[in-house]
Amino acid sequence: MSSRPTVQTPSDPGRLPMTLPLLMEKKRLGDPIVMVTAYDYPSARAAEAAGVDLVLVGDSAATTVLGYSATTPVDLEDMLVLARAVRRGLTTPLLIGDLPFGSYEVSDEQAITTAVRMVKEAGCEAVKLEGGGEASVSRARAIVGAGIPVMGHVGLTPQTSTALGGWKAQGRTATAAARIAAEAQALQEAGCFALVFEAIPSAVSDELMPLVEIPVIGIGAGPATDGQVLVFHDLLGIRDGLGPRFVKRYANLQQEMNDGITAFAEDVRTRRYPAPEHTYSIDPGELADLHERLV
Kindly list the catalytic residues: 198
Q: Answer for the pair 74, 62: CB distance below 8 angstroms, yes or no.
A: yes
- Say how far apart CA 226 and CA 32 lie, in whole Å: 6
Cβ-based neighbours of 283, under 8 Å, separated by 6 or more: none
β-bridge pairing 194-198 and 54-57 = unpaired
Q: What is residue 71's DSSP assignment?
A: S
Q: Answer for the pair 198, 220: CB distance below 8 angstroms, yes or no.
A: yes
Cβ-based neighbours of 195, under 8 Å, separated by 6 or more: 151, 152, 153, 154, 184, 187, 188, 212, 214, 215, 216, 217
SS3 251: coil
- Say how far apart CA 94 and CA 143 lie, in whole Å: 18
Which residue, 98, 246, 69, is CA-closest to 162? 69
Please state the φ and ψ torsions of residue 48, each to the nearest 5 degrees: -60, -45
- Say how far apart CA 217 and CA 132 lie, in whole Å: 15
If 0-12 CB within 10 Å is exposed, 13-18 middle and 19+ buried, where does residue 166 land?
Answer: exposed
If 0-12 CB within 10 Å is exposed, 13-18 middle and 19+ buried, where does residue 187 land?
Answer: buried
